[in-house]
Amino acid sequence: MNRYLAPWALLPGGWAPDVLLEIDEAGMLTRIEPASSRDGATLLAGPVIPGMPNAHSHVAQRALAGRVEGAGPAGDSFWSWREAMYAFVERLDPESFEALAADAYAEMLEAGYTSVAEFHYLHHDRSGAPYARPAEMAERILAAARSAGIGLTLLPVLYRFSDVGNAPPQTQQARFVHSLESFEATFAACVHAGGGVSNVRIGAALHSLRAVAPEDIAPFIAIVDAHDSQAPLHIHVSEQEREVAACRARYGATPIEVLARHATLGARWSLVHATHATHDERARIAASGATIVVCPTTEANLGDGIFPAAEFLAIGGRIAIGSDSNVNLDVAEELRWLEYVQRLSLRRRRVLGSGAGSLGDELYARSAASGARSLGQPVGKFQVRHRADIVVLEPLEDESPPSLDTCIFKSGAFRVREVLVAGQMVVHGGAHVHRAVLRRRAGAARLRLVACTN
C-alpha cells in the first residue's frame, strides 16, 4: 500500500486541495480523500491530474516525424505521405521496431500519456511472410510498453486489400496483409502473449473499409468475441473524401453506413477520425455510445479536414484524442488544436466548453474519460478501483486552485514533472527513469535502418 498527498488534484467534481491517494499492491486506487493531512503520506510536488489515454497510435511512425514534409513530384498529400511511410516501415526489423517503440512510449509518458491504444498492422517479415511466431511484432510492442511502463491496449489489425472493392494489396503492403484465418492465428497469439498481463488489454481493429470487405466485418467480430465479447474494437473511417467517394461508388453507402450495416455500434467501438461523417452519421454514432477518436495534429499535418467536434459534443458524443502518426507528442497541444480548429472553423471562441467552468479542465477530463472508454481500461479519472495513473505537473505560479486553462492555452505551461502508472514512478524530474538507455537503443536502431537500403 502506497499513500500520496497531492497539494491539488483534479477529481471528477473539479480541483480539490490536499488529496490523499491510496494505492494497493496491484496499482489500483483504493481511497481518494480531499482535505487530508499528510500523516506519513509521500507529498507530491505539484498539482496532479489523471494520466491521459492516447487512443490512437502507430508507434513506429514517431521516427518519421518531421522527415516527410517535402513535396513529391506530383505535390504532397495524404497519399504521397503514405508512400513515404510505407518505404520506412518496409525496412523495420523486430529489434529496431521494439527499440523505436520503447523510446516513443517513454516520450509519451514524459508528455503525460499514461496508456496507449496501439493500432498494429506491421505483422509479417520484410518479404511479407509470417514470422515463425505469428505475433512476433505484437510481442515487440508488448515488450516495448513493458520497458517504458506505459499501459497498453494492443489492437492487432485485420488488413486485406489495397483499396475499396477488394483491390489486391500492393507490394509495399505485404507486411500488413492477413486472411481471416491467419488473422485469427495472430489474434490468438496476441491474446496468449498479452492476455492477463498487468496494464494490458487486447482488442482488435479493422484497418478501414479500404482494407477490408464489408463481408469481413462479422467474421472478424466473431473471432474477437470468442476471446472477449467486450474487447475494444477500432477502425479508421471516413478520414479521406476519396475513401468516402469510393465506398459510395462501390457499395452505394458511406464507410460508416457500411460499418453500421455489418456491426452493432456501441461502447466498445472507436471510430478513428470520422472527419467526413455526415450529420446523421454523427447523431447515430453519438446515440450508439461509440467513441470518435480525433487526432488533431496528425489530421492537420495530413490535411484531412476538420471534424465538427462542437456539434458532436453538443449531442452527447464522446471524443478521445490520439497522437496517431506521432508527429506531435504533447497532450496540451493536441487539446489546444482540438479547440482551435473549431474556433477557426466557426469564428468564435470557447467552442468545446459546455458550462461556465474552466474550458481546459473540461476538455481534459472529458477527453481522458472518453480515452479510457476507447482503450477499455479503468483509467482516465481519479476514482476508487481505477488504476493509479497519475501525472504530477510543475506548480503554476499564482494559481490556487490550479487551472488547466493556463496549462493548455498558454504554450509551454503544461509541464510534466512526475508520472506514475499503476502507482509506479516512470517519469521523475521531467525525464523517463530509463531515458538514457531507451534513447541509446533507439539511436542504434535508426542507424541500422539508415544503413539498410534495400
In the complex, the smallest distance separating the C-beta of residue 63 from Zn ion, rounded to whole angstroms, is: 16
Nearer to Zn ion, 98 or 324 (CB): 324
In the complex, the smallest distance separating the C-beta of residue 285 from Zn ion, rounded to whole angstroms, is: 18
Nearer to Zn ion, 239 or 362 (CB): 239
Residue 334 and residue 328 in contact, taking contact as beta carbons nearer than 8 Å: yes
Nearer to Zn ion, 324 or 362 (CB): 324
- Options 324, 361, 389, 405, the catalytic residue: 324
Annotated active-site residue 273? The verdict is yes
CA–CA distance from 438 to each of 8, 163, 214, 444, 450 (Å)? 32, 37, 41, 10, 19
Q: Which residue is nearest to Zn ion (CB)?
A: 324
Cα–Cα dist 54/376, whole Å: 12
Annotated active-site residue 58? The verdict is no
**Binding-site size, Zn ion (CB under 5 A):** 1
Binding-site string for Zn ion from residue 143 to residue 182, where x marks contact by CB under 5 A and - marks none? ----------------------------------------
- Options 56, 207, 273, 276, the catalytic residue: 273
Nearer to Zn ion, 237 or 407 (CB): 237
Residues 51-70 within binding reach of Zn ion (CB under 5 A): none
In the complex, the smallest distance separating the C-beta of residue 77 from Zn ion, rounded to whole angstroms, is: 16
In the complex, the smallest distance separating the C-beta of residue 374 from Zn ion, rounded to whole angstroms, is: 13
Nearer to Zn ion, 323 or 358 (CB): 323
In the complex, the smallest distance separating the C-beta of residue 157 from Zn ion, rounded to whole angstroms, is: 10
The full length of the chain comes to 454
- Beta-strand relationship, 233-237 and 204-206: parallel
Residues 298-327 within binding reach of Zn ion (CB under 5 A): 324
| Cα torsion 98, 323, 55, 396: sign | positive
Active site residues: 273, 324
List interacting residues with Zn ion (CB under 5 A). Answer: 324
